[in-house]
Amino acid sequence: MCSSTSVLGTTLRGTRRIRTTSGAAIGQLARQRPAEPVAWTEAEAIRRAQAGDSTAFEFLYQLHSRRVYALCLRMVGNPADAEDLMQEAFLQLFRKIGTFRGESAFSTWLHRMTVNVVLMRLRKKSLPTDSLEETLEPDAESSGPKRDVGAPDLRLSGAVDRVNLERSIEKLPPGYRTVFVLHDVQGYEHNEIAGIMGCSVGNSKSQLHKARTRLRELLQEEIREQARQERHSAKTQTGSQG
C-alpha cells in the first residue's frame, strides 16, 4: 500500500494533462495557466509567499484551490468537510512554504499534504469499515476476477452514470478512493500519484486496478438492489390489484 506519510522521492518535471470543469482532457499544468490577474509565474509567487507577501499567497490559493477542493470533495463527499479539509491543507502548506525548495512540483507537494490531511481525518472518523489494505484476490477456482456466484451476469456498460459512480466512489476504501480520484477523475499520471502518495508507480497502478474492480462490484450491487426494489414494487402493485 502507499504510505501517505513517507517522504516524496520523485521529482516531477513533465506536463500533466488536466481536465477542466467541462471534463475535457485538455490543457497543461495548472501552474502554467495564466488564469489569475497577477502575471506571476508559480515560482515567483512561491518566492514572494516565502517572504510573506499576502498577494502571493492568494495567487497560489487561486491557482490550486479548485483542484484541491474537488479532491477533498470526492474524498469525503461532503462540501462542509471538504472546505474544512482544504483550509487545513492550505494552512499547513503556507506554514511550511518557507521550507519548499522546489525538489518536487509545488502542486505535488500541495496534493500530498491534502491527501495526508484527508486520510488523517478519515482515520479519525473511522468512516470506512474496510481496511486500507483491502484487495480483491482473484477467484482461485476460475482464475479470473471475482464473480458473484448465482448472480445474474450484469454488464455495467450503459448503466454507469455520474451519480451512481460518485455514490460508489464514496464507498471505496480511502486508499483506493484516493488513487482512483487522482488518476481517473483528476487526470494525474501514476508517477505523480506515486509522488503524492509516497509509493511506487507499480503500487499506484495496482491500487487503481483494485479500485476499479471494487467499483465494478459496488455498481453491480447497486444495480441489483435497484432491480430488487423494482421487482418488489411490481409485486406489491400486482398484489394490491389482485
Compare residues 96 and 123 and give the one whose CB is closer to another protein: 96
Q: How far is the CB of 106 from another protein (least distance, A)?
A: 17
| Shortest CB 8 distance to another protein, Å | 22
Closest CB 138 distance from another protein, rounded Å = 5
Which of residues 32 and 87 has its CB atom nearest to another protein in the complex? 87
Residue 234 exposure: Cα atoms within 13 Å on the Cβ side = 6
Closer to another protein by CB, 29 or 160: give it.
160
- Least distance from C-beta 228 to another protein, angstroms? 20
CA distance 163 to 88: 28
Choose between 17 and 235: whose C-beta lies nearer to another protein.
17
As measured in angstroms, the least distance from the Cβ of 183 to another protein is 8
Residue type, 80: A
Contacts of 43 (CB under 8 A, 6+ apart): 102
d(CA 180, CA 2): 13
Which C-beta is closer to another protein: that of 171 or that of 205? 205
What does the alpha-carbon distance between residue 63 and residue 127 come to, in Å, rounded to a whole number? 31
CA–CA separation, 28 and 37 (whole Å)? 18
* 42, 52 contact by CB (below 8 A): no
Cell readout for 5 is: 506519510
Neighbouring CB atoms inside 10 A of 164's CB total 17
CB of 232 to another protein, least distance (A): 26
Q: Between 157 and 241, whose beta carbon lies closer to another protein?
A: 157
Binding site for another protein (CB under 8 A): 18-21, 23, 25, 47-48, 51-58, 61, 65-67, 69-70, 73-74, 82-83, 86-87, 90-91, 94-95, 138, 142-145, 147, 153, 155-158, 160-162, 165-166, 180, 184-187, 202, 205-206, 208-210, 212-213, 215-216, 219
Residue 107: CB atoms within 10 A of its CB come to: 24
